[in-house]
Every structure is written in structure tokens, then in C-alpha cells.
Structure 1
Amino acid sequence: MDESVRDQLAARFRAYLDEACEADTADADAASAPDLFTLLAELSALKNEVKLESRQVKTALDEFRGLFDMLRDQQERLDEERARRRSAEHTADQHSQKELLLELLEVRDRLEAGHLQASRFRPGLLGRRKAKPFVASMAEGMAMNLRRLDESLARRGVKPLTVVGRPFDPHSMHATGVAADPDIPAGQVVEELRKGFLHQDALLRPAEVIVNRARAATRHEKPRLNT
């Protein structure tokens, strides 16, 4: 084959290849370029998907809010129940402690009465030599035990009421008798028959007292003059 013919054929083949490459590139560009309808459809689908996800998020938030409110209500009820139980336990402890303290006060009353009787005991002439030292030592032992009991009660916040010489207080005293002393103001406590006590500044046991009452003046009684 002539060399010029080969050159022509090669040139034509190269031209054919160039045209084929340009056609493929144009087709690829045309295929990659989206049309307006497809773009709008994709945007609409995306919008619907966002709305759906927003509804799901709102539903989840509502459920979470309801769950949070339920947990808060349960916590409040639990706190109220705990407070009620603590109050009931505190009341029960106070009641049991009060009963114990009242029993100790009863023991104190007996011990004080025994000490008073021992202090006032006067033996006869025949038994004075033997009985007097024994009774004195017994009274001393009772006095020591009484002091220790008072110290123990004081450490627990129990202290006696001071009532003699003071006006009668119906909230902390029980009047078990009356006196008629013209030298003492009416309504004043003249004697304490049973000690009253406070516990932590609250009344533990009222005092039993005798209160003076004004004596009614008779027609023949002359008024007293202060000199």
C-alpha cells in the first residue's frame, strides 16, 4: 500500500476517534444536568421528610414531657410519704420517750418521798442509838440517788417547774386544794404537792399545787391598815 494512502487512512481514523470522544462528552454532560421537574420533585420529597421528622420530634418531646411530669409527681408523692413517715417516727419516738421520762419521774417521786420520810424519822428512846445512824445513812443514800437521777434528767432536757410563790397557771398546774391566808395574794401558789416538769421547754407533767383564795370579809371584821 502506498504510504500516502496509509497517512490518509490514519488521519481519517484519528478524526473519527476525536468525533466519538466529543459525542460521549456531550452525552455525559447532558445526562448529568438535572431538569427542573426532577429538582422540584426532590425538593418536595425533602420537605415532606423534614415535616415528618419534625412531627416525630414533637411527639417524642411530648412523650418525654409527660414522662417527666409523671416522674415529678411520683417524686413529690415519695417525698411526702417520706416526710409523713419521718413525722410519724418522730412522734412515736417522742411518745415513747415521754412515757419513759414519766416513769422515771414516778421513781423520783417515790425516792423523794422516801428521803423526806427518812429525814423526818425520829426513833424512840430505846432504839435511838441504833436506829438513828442507820436511818441517817439511808437518807444520805437516797439523797445521793436523787441527785444522780436529777442530773440524768437534766442531761435529757428535763427540768422542774418553779411554782411556789407564783400566780396559778392552769396550763402548767393542777389545783388540788385551796388555802385562805389573808397575807398572801389571791391566786398565788402556797404549796407544791407534786413537782411539775418541763421537757425541752414543753410541759412534761403539770405540778399539783395548793392555791390561796381570798377570804371573804365578814360584817364584824375590821379592815386591816397598813402601818
Structure 2
Amino acid sequence: MSSRQSSTAQWPVAIILIHWVMAAALALMLLGGFAMTRAAHHAETTGDFSLTVLGLPLFDAFQLHKSMGVVLFAAVLLRLLVRAIVATPELPTHMPPLERRAARAAQIGLYALMFSMPITGWLLASSSTLGLPTVVFGLFELPHPIGPDATREALFATLHWAGAWALTGLAGLHTAAALKHHFIDRDNILSEMLPLLNHIKRRTDHVEKT
């Protein structure tokens, strides 16, 4: 069976690097965030603050989480800038209109969540009644735009928690769609984002044609 091609355009190396670095960082952020939530709940109910998250004391884990959130926010802005000025591949022509719209909607949703999650996290930290500062990698303190308030803290905690689950779900769908394109549709959507896989795929296609 021959493979279907999406277009002759290729993803810029900058976008590929940003994509995979962000994917790895977001996975760690989500896993760490869920683990920190459970650890913080345990600490609040038992008074035991000895639990660690990814090998870090709870306070240090929260500070690292917030620091990574600042970096990821900057990475999202950089990624949007690169996409705005550099040509990128189009979706495969064989995709039905409904699937195209779903792919675009999922992409917009992912960007919206990656953009909003650091903001809700920042507002959550700002409104926390604990009054803890946000120190980015121990280098500088990020100012809080609002002060401690229990009602606001509960609101932003809910928004941040819901956003984390929504991002997890959309990322799962994104991964499943990429695997479908590669193994079922046999187009180059996934391979274009994996340079080594793309090289092997192009060599295989060349052998099949000859």
C-alpha cells in the first residue's frame, strides 16, 4: 500500500524542536501538577508536609512548577511567532472536511490551553492565602497582580484544575490522531514532525516507487 502525502512543505526545524521540548515539559508539568495537588491535600488534612513530588520537597516542587510555567508561557509565544512568519505544511488533501475542522478546533484548543494555563496558575499563586512568592528558578521574583483572597483562590484553583484535565484530554486526542494518520491513513503528518522517521519513510517510499 502506498502512502499518502500531505504537501511538499516541511515543518521548520525551530517548530519541531519547540514542539517536542514543549511536549516533554507539558507532560512533566501535568504529572507533577496532579501529584502536587494530591500531596498538598494530604499535607492540609494531616499536617504532614514530608511528602515529596518528583524527589523534591513540596515547597520546592511548587516553585519549580511555577518557574516552568513561566518558561512554557514564553515558549508558546515563541511558537506562535515562528508559525506566523514561517510557512508550514497544509493538512493532507484526503482529509474529509469534518476531520479538517476537528483538527483545526483541537489545535486552537491546545494553543488556548497552553496560553491560559500559566495565567490561571499565576493568578492562583497570587490569590493563595498562604502568601508565598513566585520565584523563577531562584533568580527573580515574579510580581503578583492580585492579593490573597480565599474566594479567588478557589476559583482559580478550579479553573487551573479543569484546564489541566482539558489539556490532558486534548493532548491524548492529538496523539491518537497522529498515530491514526501514520498507521491507518499512511500520510506524513507524524513523520514530518519526526525527522528520523521522516527520513526512513522517504527512503521506503523511494524504494516502493522504483
Structure whose CA Rg is larger: 1
Structure with more strand by fraction: 1
Q: Same fold (TM over 0.5)?
A: no
- Ranked by relative contact order (alpha carbons within 8 Å, sequence separation 6 or more), the top structure is 2
TM-score scaled by structure 1? 0.29
| Greater share of residues in helix | 2
